[in-house]
Amino acid sequence: MGKLDGRTVLITGAARGQGEQEARLFAAEGARVLLADVLDDQGAALAEEIGDAARYTRLDVGSEDDWTAALAYADEQFGGLDGLVNNAGILRFNALADTPLEEYLQVVRVNQVGAFLGMRACAPALTVAGGGTIVNTASYTALSGMALLTSYAATKAAIVAMTRVAALELAPHGIRVNAMCPGAVDTPMANPAVLDPAADQEAMAAATARFYRKLLPLGRMGRADEIARLALFLTSEDSSYVTGQPFVIDGGWLAGVAAL
């Protein structure tokens, strides 16, 4: 018996990183998974690899029309929806005084508007299903400042706030809404150089390991599969009495900086 047997879950940003590991784990736990992303080749290949329990659909999370189409596809392929993981997000580093409005709004569109549209689009389907779960991906930076991340931190703080409001409004419909607040996670978004074939991957990995070994109490970056296990907990009946909460998963970062 899997923890998600008989359930259908839509996961955004599912082509790689945390979303990919969530899709793999959820399918292994018995769920039917609708993988949504704008990385069509990677998303389609992953769905094919997972097998009959998975489908892929293109979804720009900032587009109302794309959300409408994704929900229609979930209904067509799986007969409805029982859960949503709002995982899609982008990260831009820039000093506050140097951040162009266009860049700020780009981050808002994907991270904040994307989560809002996802919850709004999926809530009626989850209500029809008799209840369900929404897991929003926020960030450690929603709860603690970090230089060069004005736009990113603002959107992630908004996600935590929207999570609380949605939890209050949707509880009467049997829908639980929670947020994950990861710290540093070893994914292409956090380490864009891993996508650069010209980069010295070994040297980059060693430098990153040294930095986080000094900074974090647990001495390393998180892994995408560790975040996926928290998403599984919040999507499954193991968390049946939990809603409206931000869950920090950061290797102890929020507790303070490790001794140097």
Pairwise CA distance, residues 22 & 14, whole Å: 8
**pTM reported for the whole predicted model:** 0.94
194 pLDDT more than 70: no
Q: Is 59 part of any domain?
A: yes
Domain around 16: 8-186+223-255
Q: How confident is the model at residue 198 (pLDDT cuts 50, 70, 90)?
A: low
Q: Is 25 part of any domain?
A: yes
In percent, how much of the chain has pLDDT > 90? Answer: 87
pLDDT in tens, 79-134: 999 999 999 999 999 999 999 999 999 999 999 999 999 999 999 999 999 999 99
Q: How confident is the model at residue 190 (pLDDT cuts 50, 70, 90)?
A: confident
- CB contact at 8 A, 232 and 5: no
Q: Is 196 part of any domain?
A: no
Q: Is 156 part of any domain?
A: yes
Q: Is 67 part of any domain?
A: yes
According to DSSP, the β-strands at 175-182 and 54-58 are unpaired
Q: Is 212 part of any domain?
A: no
Structural domain count of the chain = 1
Q: Is 205 part of any domain?
A: no
CATH number of the domain within which 151 lies? 3.40.50.720
Q: Is 48 part of any domain?
A: yes
73 pLDDT more than 80: yes
Average pLDDT over residues 200-214: 79
* Residues with active-site annotation: 152
Pairwise CA distance, residues 207 & 223, whole Å: 17
pLDDT in tens, 113-122: 999 999 999 9
